[in-house]
Chains A and B, each alone.
Chain A
């Protein structure tokens, strides 16, 4: 305790007072501390680094790819991996290494875009439905149920049938399919947080609904949403593959991991590398998203944060 004069001696601090060093420790900005803690989780750190690499590859794809995506070389058809073609070549003699690099941009863009659409719209709907309840909840969630009732692929096909194929519309279609998932996850989480005493406490000092939602309800309801986001990124990449396989997503000859996987399926018994490398790319990306999502969820929780920081100090 500092020696500030008080009208009456401050009641003696309880036992745990001693455990709290009275130094200010908010010197480092919040996000730097978050990054620092994230780096302590090996799985999250490696995943983050790998994802950064994948994103960089996707951004600088044209510069990195040894050949163009659609350069056909008839005499090099179905070559196994070699020094010249690290990932081998496909049935038209196209370099799979180059196509995997160029496909990263397509797959990631669709994945991010789709999840962004689902996250923003779905979470907003779930937030409002969960917080206000009553008829707002009834109306919004019944609409979500209607969306949910359609089989995912059928709904995506319907959207693409209306809007026409292409990677932008694929992202939109996948995003729409995932809106009810985010709405449900968010609503369930909000329903729990809404009844917390600290929300009522905040209301008791005059906070507006907007303030309650943005400062208290959303941050405390976020962990399941973060996990859902990382899982959905993975599923969106796979869904793009499925739609491309059906001929509705990325249009050949443009490369996307899903489309390459689908095209390679026919050659799986004579040329495994056609499907293997794009498959590995999807697998690694999805795994990294999940591990990073888990790490992020832990780091964003102040209670976990203290445990982690305490363990290292």
Chain B
């Protein structure tokens, strides 16, 4: 047990987080914009013929403190999560420190056919769900053969 203490705790936590991220990012090729520090928040993106659905996993945040921006087809989600670690002078011990704390910013490149005026964002149970409608013209249409 004494040897473990020689490593700073956050390095170990960082390694664990990395491992977890690699497991979760199974079969995923990162975009040129890379991954945010610690992969926070986790992002899931889905497509429907009518919309693009983005889910950002941002637990424990005040929805008003999350900044969402859509500019030139690039969606940015930014904010800050406060640390709940005890103050140094407190008589408490931190055994595990894995949760993300600090500023975050993640970027999603959206398809060309989205309508930037039809965006809807909802925050529920720590998940931010952003739904972006596609332009009508982009909907697949059946072409009849004459």
* Binding partners A and B: no
Residues of A within 8 A of B (CB): none
Residues of B within 8 A of A (CB): none
